[in-house]
Chains A and B, each alone.
Chain A
Amino acid sequence: MKRALSPAETPQVGRSLPRLESWLKVTGRAEYVHNLRLPGMLYGRIFRSSVAHGRIRRLDVSAAQAVGGVHRVVSAADLTEIVPDPYYGPAFHDQPVLAVDKVRYVGEPVAVVLAADPHVAEEAAHLIVAEYEELPAVYDELEAMTSKAIVHDALKPAGTFPDLKHLKGRIGTNVALDFHLRRGDAAQALAAADRVFEHRFRTQQVMHTPLEPLVSVAESTDSSLTIHTASQSPSFVRIEVARLLGWPENRIRVRVPFLGGGFGAKLYIKLEALVAVLSLLTRRAVKISLTMEEQFFTITKHASSFRIKSGVTRDGRISARECEVWWNGGAYADIGPRVTQKSGFTAAGPYDIEHVAIDSYALYTNLPPAGALRGFGIPQLVWAYECHTDMMARELGIDPIEFRRRNLLRDGRPQATGTVMRDAAIEKVLDRLAVLLEWNRPFDRGTGVLRRGRGIAIGFKACVSPTTSLAAVNVNGDGSCIVYCSTVDMGQGSDTAMAQIAGEVLNLPAESVRVVHSDTDVTPYDMATLGSRSLFHMGNAVKLAAEDALKKLNQLKSELQMPPDTAIPEIFKKKYGMQAGNVVGTGSFIPSYAPPDYATGLTSDATPFWMVGGSGVEIEVDTETGRVRVARLVNVADVGTPINPKIVETQLSGAAIMQLGFTLFEKMLFDDQGQLRNASLAEYRIPGFLDVPEEIINEAVSAEQRSGPFGAKGVGETGTFGVSPAIANALDDAVGVRLTSLPLNPEAVYQALAK
């Protein structure tokens, strides 16, 4: 293409360039695993547990096996010839590829029917009969602390995390991980405080519902395995499947095209180990596509309980804070223990508090597993500490913004871990929220049936650390450029951002840069696309790789005695005598990190960067129905210096609207047997057009993350932080009722009003 040869005329960073793959997406031609069909491919249909906790006494697959067109029915007993120890997981090796002896939640995969026709597989799966000896089950995270119902006989931490090693073999407990932070002496400071406030909050279990449901395909030979998967973590999939099979990594290839949404649902191992083993067993390609319903039985967001207690001085300074957080992790740990710790240490909020005590517990229960969902636990924490903050301000008769301002954690001050805050524009975010909401203007709260209120909330997050990203940048003989990286574009626009970064360094238009999608045979290691880490980590790696390529090109120029302004193709022509060759630059990025002290949770270097997000709302409450309508939603964030301002805006807006669903209506409803009653979009509503506030303002404050690529940092989750507590605070402002559990649905609001 001619474009590839012409140098960029304007800076590439800071351009609001439409996503590079836009054409593919508006014409329906973007590649998803969903589209993939391979010759001879079998479709797998999963048979799932109907009890929450039980021993499998009998599994009868004979009727299923007898259905015409069924290739094979597979259960755990069939797997051991391929995988002797079929347990996987990023933090704990606790989750079986298919249930072994026991089931631990309703919906757990027990067997798989394979057939060339997916309808045949589905029909046959209905004919499988399982008998269970039911065991006592536990569903509530607080009950799980002391329950006699124990989900796992012994804890099985993965060897990868040194801070989990002490948990190995622990028995008789549902606590997968307990994290503690002690800064100063919170108990003593609380005793000495002028006022003490204590509140409890809860959040509900919800689901990511990516519109492309989870899907994986495996194909194999005796010595090689290729997994095509809708995954946010291809490098992890390769490492974990290699470990399960006892194979070297280079015999396993993991390919990921575009994802139809992820939001944390498509991390670690989901269907990948299962399709891999099924393909090796049958020597056929095997595809499993979950239905929307099945996604609810695969991965969810933690329900949580939070007890928070603060001591405040007479002049409105928070002197001490105690936090106890219980995370309902469901039956398998997934990344829950990381959420418990890596988000847990921010549980006291973006405030400068001298004495802090945090206890954060990851709990096993007999519910579908919980993992990361757009915020890695942060929205649950902000929900509690920002409601608490508002409740205190109201009690103290101090304006909520003023109260926050008095206590804000400012740059240069130590956060609860002791890590000194850098490049976290907390105060700016709060100030801009106040301006955009016209906070000082008189506000009409209404008098009749419809009452109006407004509220704000602000939260922060430490990017998960330590994690690594590697990238390569290839400059071809004609001067065109290819970026190889394992960051997965699931809609957040990473391909475009990486192209802009490489283009900026190499002075090429981003449109001409090609970003190769994750393929572990080709693209180097990346920890995963999660936690808003990619733009910072992979962005830095791509920048380093592009700079390395540029350096090599400049070296070539001087070796060949060519003037500095020589066009790239001329260098190659002179070097090779024709259009040939290429230059490959590599980049590797791992930020500095100091692990927290086990006993105190303190560390001098907790995170490479802080994300700051706040929301303000104006709402209307119908006092006859309890319905809350958000009329105005303002989202303000510190995203550093945006690489692509338009994409940043859409990320903030999209995250906030998603959180609006988690705030106002989304909730997985379980009965007292652990049966999920609303596993479909007909019964589990997600935000649609009619739920979107009439006015949404999104703003990135002027800021710079000095350690980020061109001053940038991540943004995918930031818009979620403040939404839920801002709405609860506005509800209190409007009608004087305080709800402490999510969601704030009409039923809950109406009942509170009726009291």
Chain B
Amino acid sequence: MRRTIRFRLNGEAVEAQVAPHETLVEVLQDAFGLFGARESCGQGLCGCCTAVVNGRAVSGCLYLATFAEGGEVSTIENGSRLDAVQEAFIECAGLQCGFCTPGFVLMTRQLLEEHPEPDDDTIRHYLSGNLCRCAAYPQIIEAVKLAARKMRQT
């Protein structure tokens, strides 16, 4: 049942034994000890399980790990220092319990790549697939705008 897949994870070549039904989140957690992508709703609706595959954010609780074969997977754990988005989330209090935060950070990076100067409406729509039950939404909007300013300055 299990087979070996090879892919790049946060810049390093890796391999894992995966079963066909196993999701990317399960493999990240069980094979690599990476817990920043986490399952919550299990339906791809909340964004807590977000990981980036070949440059696009995916719902890791629905994305079968086997599809990552030969690809480039990046998670919230990638990188050794905080980027502008992470700094802005901290400075604007764009997080409370933190469970949804990695998903928001990853989606915000993708948002800012596509819209370097987003207005409120763009932010709301782009991030509408990520849920925060603590409802830090107003602070997240501020964080996204601050991150955009920080990125323009550097």
Give A residues with C-beta under 8 Å from B.
18-19, 21-30, 32, 34-35, 37, 119, 208-213, 258-263, 291-293, 490-493, 646-647, 649-650, 653-655, 657-658, 680-682, 686-690, 692, 694, 696
- Is B152 an interface position by the 8 A CB rule? no
B14 interfacial contact with A, CB 8 Å: no
A657-B135, A680-B43, A689-B137 are contacts. A25–B125 as well, Cβ < 8 Å? Answer: no
Contact of A28 among B76, B90, B124, B127 (CB under 8 A): B76
B102 touches A690 (CB 8 A): no
Q: Which residues of A contact B128 (CB under 8 A)?
A: 688-690
Given contacts A18-B91, A27-B36, A658-B133, contact A261 B97 (CB under 8 A): yes
Q: Is the beta-carbon distance between A696 and B138 smaller than 8 angstroms? A: yes
Alpha-carbon distance A667/B42, docked complex (angstroms) = 20
B residues neighboring A (CB under 8 Å): 21, 29-30, 34-38, 40-43, 45-46, 48, 75-77, 82, 86, 89-91, 93, 95-102, 105, 120, 123-125, 127-128, 130-139
Closest chain-B Cβ to A64's Cβ sits at a distance in Å of 19
7 A/B residue pairs, CB under 8 Å, sorted by A: A28-B36, A35-B29, A211-B132, A260-B98, A650-B139, A687-B137, A692-B138
Q: Which of B30, B89, B102, B134 is packed against the most chain A CB atoms within 10 Å? A: B134
Tell whether, in the assembled complex, residue A212 and residue B40 are in contact, meaning their CB atoms are under 8 Å apart. yes
Which B residue's beta carbon lies closest to that of A208? Answer: B133
**Least CB distance, B133 to chain A, in whole angstroms:** 5
Least CB distance, A573 to chain B, in whole angstroms? 36
**Given contact pairs A292-B41, A658-B135, A696-B138, A681 touches B46 in the complex (Cβ within 8 A):** yes
List of B residues within 8 angstroms of A690 by Cβ:
124-125, 128
Residue of B43, B96, B125, B139 with most partner-chain A CB within 10 A: B96
Give B66 Cβ to nearest chain A Cβ, in Å: 15
Q: Find out whether the CB atom of B133 lies under 8 angstroms from the CB atom of A692.
A: no
Query: Would A35 and B35 count as touching, CB distance under 8 A?
Result: yes
Given A19-B95, A21-B98, A28-B102, A261:B131 Cβ within 8 A: no
Do B86 and A27 have beta carbons less than 8 Å apart?
yes
Distance from A40 Cβ to chain B, minimum over Cβ atoms (Å)? 15
With A680-B41, A687-B135: A258-B90 Cβ-Cβ less than 8 Å: no
Contact, CB under 8 Å: B135 / A491? no
What 8 A-B pairs have minimum CB-CB distances, sorted nearest first? A28-B36, A491-B97, A260-B99, A25-B98, A491-B96, A657-B135, A28-B76, A26-B86
Most buried by B among A21, A28, A653: A28
Query: Which residues of the other chain, B, contact A291 by a CB distance below 8 angstroms?
Result: 42
Query: Min CB distance, B36 to chain A, in Å?
Result: 2
**B53 → chain A closest CB, angstroms:** 16
A687 to B139, CA, bound (A): 15
Q: Which residues of B contact A688 (CB under 8 A)?
A: 128, 130-131, 137
Bound-state CA distance A658–B89 (Å) is 20
Instruction: Give the docked Cα–Cα distance between A688 and B104 (Å).
Output: 12
B38 interface neighbour in A34, A657, A696, Cβ under 8 Å: A34
Contact A654:B29 (CB < 8 A) given known A22-B90, A689-B127: no
Distance, CA A169 to CA B38, complexed state (A): 46
Are A689 and B76 closer than 8 Å at their CB atoms?
no
Distance in angstroms between the alpha carbons of A35 and B36 in the assembled complex = 9
Measured in the bound complex, the distance between the Cα atoms of B48 and A162 in whole Å is: 44
A473 vs B96: C-alpha distance when bound (angstroms): 25
Partner of B40, one of A213, A262, A263, A694: A213
List of B residues within 8 angstroms of A696 by Cβ: 138
Instruction: Give the CA-CA distance A682 to B137 in the complex, in Å.
Output: 20
Q: Which chain B positions have C-beta within 8 A of A261?
A: 96-97, 99, 133-134
Q: Please determine whether B95 and A25 come into contact, CB atoms closer than 8 angstroms.
A: yes
CB–CB A681/B45 < 8 A? yes
CA distance A212 to B103 in the complex (A): 13
Residues of B within 8 A of A258 (CB): 97-98
Q: Which of A26, A211, A212 contacts B90 (CB 8 A)?
A: A26
Minimum C-beta distance from B144 to chain A (A)? 11
State A29–B82 Cα separation when bound (angstroms): 13
On whether the beta carbons of A263 and B133 are closer than 8 Å, the reply is yes
Known: A18-B93, A689-B124. 6 other contacts (CB 8 A): A22-B89, A27-B86, A34-B38, A210-B99, A491-B134, A686-B133
What separation, in Å, do the CA atoms of A653 and B137 have in the docked complex?
9
Q: Please, how many angstroms separate the alpha-carbon atoms of A682 and B134 in the complex?
A: 19
Cα(A654)–Cα(B100), bound, Å: 14
Closest CB in chain B relative to A45 CB, distance in Å: 14
Asked if B40 contacts A292 (CB within 8 A), the reply is yes
Give the residues in chain A near B45, CB-CB below 8 Å: 681-682
B75: nearest chain-A partner, CB-CB: A28
Once the chains bind, are B125 and A654 in contact (CB under 8 Å)? Answer: no
Cβ-defined contact, A211 with B36, below 8 A: no
Task: Quote the shortest CB–CB distance from B101 to chain A (angstroms).
Answer: 5
Say whether B82 contacts A32, CB under 8 Å: no
Partner of A25, one of B38, B91, B101, B138: B101
Of A213, A681, A692, which contacts B137 at CB under 8 A?
A: A692
Q: How far is the CB of B118 from chain A (nearest CB, A)?
A: 12
B33 → chain A closest CB, angstroms: 9
Q: What B residues does A25 contact at CB under 8 A? A: 95, 98, 101
Q: Which residues of B contact A681 (CB under 8 A)?
A: 41, 43, 45-46, 131
Q: Give min CB distance, A206 to chain B, whole Å.
A: 12
A24→B98 contact, CB < 8 A: yes
In the complex, which residue of chain B has the Cβ closest to the Cβ of A657?
B135
CB-nearest residue of chain A relative to B22? A119
Give which listed residue, B29, B46, B105, contacts A211 with CB less than 8 A.
Answer: B46
A-side contacts of B127, CB under 8 Å: 689
Q: Which residues of A contact B86 (CB under 8 A)?
A: 26-27
- Chain B residue numbers with a CB within 8 Å of A689 are 123-125, 127-128, 130, 137
Residue of B at shortest CB range from A698?
B138
Across the interface, name the chain B residue whose C-beta is closest to A37. Answer: B30
- CA of A35 to CA of B34 in the docked complex: distance in angstroms? 9
| Nearest-neighbor residue (CB-CB) of B97 within chain A | A491
Q: Which residues of A contact B43 (CB under 8 A)?
A: 292, 680-682
| Pair B96/A493 contact, Cβ less than 8 Å | yes
Q: Are B101 and A19 interface neighbours, CB within 8 A?
A: no
Complex Cα spacing A25 to B93, Å = 11
A749 to B75, CA, bound (A): 44
**A35 contacts across to B, CB distance below 8 A:** 29, 35, 38
Chain A residue contacts of B21, Cβ below 8 A: 119
**Which A residues touch B91, using CB under 8 A?**
18
A212 touches B35 (CB 8 A): no
Q: How far is the CB of B99 from chain A (nearest CB, A)?
A: 3
CA of A346 to CA of B101 in the docked complex: distance in angstroms? 37
Which of B34, B76, B97, B102 makes the CB contact (< 8 A) with A212? B97
Indicate whether A260 sits within 8 Å of B82 (C-beta atoms), given known contacts A35-B35, A657-B135: no
B13 CB, min distance to chain A CBs, angstroms: 21
A263: B residues at CB distance < 8 A: 133
Q: Would you give the shortest CB distance from A28 to chain B, in whole angstroms? A: 2
- Which residues on the B side are within 8 Å of A209 (C-beta)? 133
- By a CB distance below 8 angstroms, the chain A residues around B96 are 19, 261, 491-493, 650, 654
Nearest CB in chain A to that of B139: its residue: A650
CA distance A453 to B11 in the complex (A): 55
Give the complex CA separation of A293 and B91 in angstroms. Answer: 34
Evaluate contact between A490 and B97: CB separation under 8 angstroms. yes
Chain A residues near B99: list those with CB within 8 A.
32, 210-212, 260-261
With contact pairs A680-B43, A689-B137 given, residues A26 and B89 touching in the complex (Cβ less than 8 Å):
yes
Query: B95: which A residues are within 8 A, CB to CB?
Result: 19, 22, 25-26
Asked if A23 contacts B75 (CB within 8 A), the reply is no
Residue of A nearest to B87 (CB): A26
* Cα separation A21 to B91 with both chains bound (whole Å): 12
